[in-house]
Copies of this chain bind each other. A is one copy, B any other.
């Protein structure tokens, strides 16, 4: 996450926007659990930065980005706190936040792939690193809110991340034009996620009731 070369200014700005959006939706989840302001700020940071953190800990990729650059802590913590004031507005903008969250999913996935790739990881690990970066923050949020992670039950989310990563990572092998491939991946991933939301595409569920034998 957020490790792209400075030239990729557009992607970098999209990441900051997406981090902010994820911290703000996490703040709403905190409000539903009546957390105090400190808890709201912490849940915002953990949700927005948790995916990249888990990826880096699993890959042994130190120092963590927010340790090196605490600006990310400030950004996400403050975004969560601001949400307390503008909660009604945030909720009314559900659609905007869904789009921002989708942008985050795709951008974080790509950045996660980049990190693993630069560390010399194999293709499957590049894709898994992308998925963890894109999805694990939400899992942490749900664990801290004492829910079964939505990720494991809801519409195409992790799957979009995997497809995005797969598409993006093949470029590393093919050595296609970087910029073009980045744009293509972004458009593909975002379209896929938005279409999944719009048409309520879902993975089949595995419903197992151990009682009925």
Contact = CB atoms under 8 A, between A and B. Distances in A.
Interface centre among A27, A148, A208 (most CB of B within 10 A): A208
Contact of A206 (B35, B73, B213): B35
When all copies of this chain in the complex are counted, the total is 3
- The interface size bin for chain A is 35 or more
Interface stretch (A8-16, A62-70, A106-114, A180-188): A62-70
A84 interface: yes
Contact of A207 (B34, B88, B147): B34
A35 to B, nearest CB: 4
Nearest to A211: B32
B38 A203 contact: yes
Given A67-B59, A84-B206, A210-B28, A152 B144 contact: yes
